[in-house]
Chains A and B, each alone.
Chain A
Amino acid sequence: MNKPMKPDPTFHASPKLAMEAPPENFAFTVMLGKDKDQHDGLAVIDLRSGSDTYGEIVHTVMTETTGDEFHHFGWNACSSSLSPLSGHAFLERRYLIVPGIRSSRIFIFDVKDPLKAHIHKIIEPEELFEKTGYSRPHTIHCGPEGIYVSTLGGGGPDGTDGPPGIFIMDCETFEIIGRYEMDRGAQDKHYDFWWNLPQDYMVSSEWGLPPQYENGVVAEDLLSNKYGHSIHFWDLRARKNIQTMDFGDNYQMALEIRPAHDPTKSYGFCGVVVDTTNLQGAIFTWWRDDDGVWQSKKTITIDPRPEDPENLPDLLKGFGAVPPLVTDIDLSLDDKYLYVACWGLGEMHQYDVSDPMNPVLNGKVELGGIATEHKHPNGKDVIYGPQMVEISRDGKRVYWTNSLYSSWDNQFYPHQEGGQMVMANVGEDGSFSLDPNFYIDFPENMRAHQIRLEGGDCSTDSFCYPSV
Chain B
Amino acid sequence: MEDMTLAALWWAVIFSGIYHGVNPGMGWPLAVSAALFERKKMAMAKALAMLAAGHFLAMVVILLPFSMMYFLIDNEREIRIGAGVLVVAMGIYLLINRRHPKILARVHPAKLGLWSFLAATAHGAGLMLVPIYLGICGLLVPSESLSGTGHAAAQALMSNNVMTAFLVAATHTFAMTFAGAAIAIFVYAWFGLKFISKSWFNLDLVWALSLIIVGAFGIYSAFGVHH
- Which residues of B are found within 8 Å of A83, using beta-carbon distances? 29, 33
Q: What is the CA–CA distance of A253 and B191 in the complex, to the nearest angstrom? A: 46
Most buried by A among B30, B100, B193, B201: B193
Using a CB–CB cutoff of 8 Å, the interface residues on chain A facing chain B are 1, 3-7, 9, 11-14, 17, 82-90, 144-146, 172, 197-200, 237, 263-264, 464-466, 468
Query: B193 contacts A17, CB within 8 Å?
Result: yes
Q: What is the CA–CA distance of A263 and B34 in the complex, to the nearest angstrom? A: 12
- Which residues of B are found within 8 Å of A145, using beta-carbon distances? 102, 105-106
Known contacts A3-B202, A146-B102, A84 near B37 by CB under 8 Å: no
Other than the given A82-B197, A87-B101, A198-B109, 15 more pairs (CB < 8 A) read: A13-B197, A82-B196, A86-B104, A87-B104, A87-B105, A90-B204, A145-B102, A146-B102, A200-B109, A237-B106, A263-B37, A264-B37, A464-B33, A465-B36, A468-B39
A194 → B minimal CB distance (Å):
17
Task: Please name the residue on chain B nearest to A168 by beta carbon.
Answer: B102
Q: What is the CA–CA distance of A13 and B30 in the complex, to the nearest angstrom? A: 12
Q: What is the CA–CA distance of A172 and B36 in the complex, to the nearest angstrom? A: 30
- Which residues of A are found within 8 Å of B109, using beta-carbon distances? 85, 197-200
- Which residues of B are found within 8 Å of A87, using beta-carbon distances? 100-102, 104-105
Q: What is the CA–CA distance of A144 and B100 in the complex, to the nearest angstrom? A: 12
- Please give the number of chain B residues whose Cβ is less than 8 angstroms from any Cβ of chain A in the complex: 32
Q: What is the CA–CA distance of A88 and B110 in the complex, to the nearest angstrom? A: 19
Task: Please name the residue on chain A nearest to B28 by beta carbon.
Answer: A84
Q: What is the CA–CA distance of A146 and B99 in the complex, to the nearest angstrom? A: 12
Query: B197 contacts A3, CB within 8 Å?
Result: no
Q: What is the CA–CA distance of A466 and B192 in the complex, to the nearest angstrom? A: 12
Q: Mask for B199-225, Cβ within 8 A of A = 1, else 0?
A: 011101000000000000000000000
Query: B105 contacts A466, CB within 8 Å?
Result: no
- Which residues of B are found within 8 Å of A263, using beta-carbon distances? 37
- Which residues of B are found within 8 Å of A198, using beta-carbon distances? 33, 37, 109
Set A84, A237, A466: member contacting B108, Cβ < 8 A: A237
Query: B115 contacts A85, CB within 8 Å?
Result: yes
A292 → B minimal CB distance (Å):
14
Set A3, A199, A466: member contacting B36, Cβ < 8 A: A466
Q: Mask for B70-104, Cβ within 8 A of A = 1, else 0?
A: 00000000000000000000000000001111101
Query: A7 contacts B197, CB within 8 Å?
Result: yes
Q: What is the CA–CA distance of A147 and B29 in the complex, to the nearest angstrom? A: 23
Query: B37 contacts A17, CB within 8 Å?
Result: no
B1-56 interface (Cβ within 8 A of A): 24-25, 27, 29-30, 32-33, 36-37, 39
- Which residues of A are found within 8 Å of B110, using beta-carbon distances? 200
Q: What is the CA–CA distance of A454 and B128 in the complex, to the nearest angstrom? A: 41
Top 3 nearest A-B pairs (CB, nearest first) are: A144-B105, A87-B100, A13-B193
B55 → A minimal CB distance (Å):
14
Using a CB–CB cutoff of 8 Å, the interface residues on chain B facing chain A are 24-25, 27, 29-30, 32-33, 36-37, 39, 98-102, 104-110, 115, 119, 193-194, 196-197, 200-202, 204
Query: B202 contacts A85, CB within 8 Å?
Result: no
Q: What is the CA–CA distance of A1 and B24 in the complex, to the nearest angstrom? A: 22
Query: A7 contacts B200, CB within 8 Å?
Result: yes
A177 → B minimal CB distance (Å):
9
B136 → A minimal CB distance (Å):
31
- Which residues of B are found within 8 Å of A146, using beta-carbon distances? 102
**Mind listing 13 A-B residue pairs with CB under 8 Å?**
A3-B202, A3-B204, A5-B201, A6-B201, A7-B197, A11-B197, A85-B104, A85-B115, A87-B100, A89-B24, A90-B202, A198-B37, A464-B33
Q: What is the CA–CA distance of A356 and B107 in the complex, to the nearest angstrom? A: 31
A298 → B minimal CB distance (Å):
30
B44 → A minimal CB distance (Å):
13
Task: Please name the residue on chain B nearest to A4 by beta carbon.
Answer: B202
Set B30, B37, B107, B200: member contacting A89, Cβ < 8 A: B200
Task: Please name the residue on chain B nearest to A2 by beta carbon.
Answer: B98
- Which residues of B are found within 8 Å of A4, using beta-carbon distances? 202
- Which residues of B are found within 8 Å of A197, using beta-carbon distances? 109
Task: Please name the residue on chain B nearest to A20 by beta carbon.
Answer: B194
A97 → B minimal CB distance (Å):
18
- Which residues of A are found within 8 Å of B107, using beta-carbon distances? 85, 237
Q: What is the CA–CA distance of A87 and B99 in the complex, to the nearest angstrom? A: 9
B12 → A minimal CB distance (Å):
25
- Which residues of A are found within 8 Å of B200, using beta-carbon distances? 6-7, 89
Known contacts A3-B204, A6-B200, A468-B39, A84 near B30 by CB under 8 Å: yes
Q: What is the CA–CA distance of A82 and B105 in the complex, to the nearest angstrom? A: 12
Q: What is the CA–CA distance of A144 and B24 in the complex, to the nearest angstrom? A: 18
